[in-house]
Each structure stands twice: as structure tokens, then as C-alpha cells.
Amino acid sequence: MVDRVFAGVWLLLTLGFAAVARTYEAQYSYEPIGPRAFPLLLAGISAVCSLWLLLRPRRIAETLPPLPDGGLVRAVLLMAALVAYAFLFEVIGFPLATVLVTVAIGRSFGGSWPHVAVAGLALGISLFLLFDRALDVTLPLGSLWRS
């Protein structure tokens, strides 16, 4: 069932992709195949594949393996933590963002508060020193604090 829902959504996306691709035209054409042929070819294959997944007769009942208890909630929280990390990376700087994300991820993987707090501080500071200072990979300290 999940497969079919995905295939349906994907089919719609493919149609959107094809509609956008159709508008691409080269102003000066010096080759027989323009910029839109290849994307349209891909859209065609993609549409056939998703139609197959959407409509195929099913012999074996295929369902997703169930998530462990509260798995969905934990997965969503983890995704939120990672997205927040991405957005905060430059704003509050690498060391602080890393401390926060380590605490968030560490908790969702079952670490105790003191453990994840220490791990966060250790990772935030040591990775910053390692990359920014020792290896010359510039990391942000936070645009928020500068203004």
C-alpha cells in the first residue's frame, strides 16, 4: 500500500518534471538534440516505472517492517534536529550548534543527560579545534554573535 501511495505521488512529480522540461529550448541550436530531450526521456522511463509500481498485481503482501515502539516519533524528532542543525550551523556557529545537536541526537539514541552533555561539549570543542585550527577547514563561529 505504501508503495502504491509513493508511486502515485512520484507519478505526479514526474508529470511536473516533464511539464517543466518541455519548456526548455535552446536559443541557438547547433545540434539535433536540445536541452529538453534527455529530461523528457527520463520522465518517460520514470512514468512507466511508477505506473508499474502503482498498478502491478501483487502476489506477496508487502508491508513495511513495523517501526519499534515510538519509532516514528523518534524518527521525526531526529529529522527535526538535523534540519535545525543545518539552519543553525552558520547562525549560532559550529561549536554551539554541535553541542545542541549532540544532546538532541544522543538523547534519541538513549544516552543519559550527563553523558550526552559531556559528549556534546567534547565533540563541539574538539572537532572545531581539529578542523578549524589544525586542518585549516574554516568553520563558522556564528553570525549571530558578531552583530
Q: Please, which of residues 13-72 interact with other proteins by CB under 8 A?
A: 17, 20-21, 24-29, 31-35, 37-39, 42-43, 45-46, 49-50, 52-53, 59-60, 64, 67-68, 71
CB of residue 145 to other proteins, shortest distance in Å: 16
Query: Which three three-digit cell numbers place residue 41?
Result: 526521456
Q: Judged by CB under 8 A, how many residues of this single chain contact other proteins?
A: 71
Binding mask 69-88 for other proteins (x = CB under 8 A): --x--xx--xx--xx-xxx-
Separation CA 26–CA 41 (nearest Å): 17
CB of residue 76 to other proteins, shortest distance in Å: 10
CB of residue 89 to other proteins, shortest distance in Å: 6
Q: Which is nearer to other proteins, 2 or 147 (by Cβ)?
A: 2
Give the residue among 71, 69, 85 at the shortest CA–CA distance from 123: 85
User: Rounded to the nearest 10 degrees, how much is the dihedral formed by the CA atoms of 51, 53, 57, 59?
Assistant: 170
Residues 92-131 binding other proteins (CB under 8 A) are 94, 98, 101-102, 105-111, 115-116, 119-120, 123-124, 127, 131
CB of residue 146 to other proteins, shortest distance in Å: 15
Contacts 24+ apart (CB under 8 A), 42-45: 42/17, 43/14, 43/15, 43/17, 43/18, 44/18
Asked if 94 and 120 touch (Cβ cutoff 8 Å), the reply is no
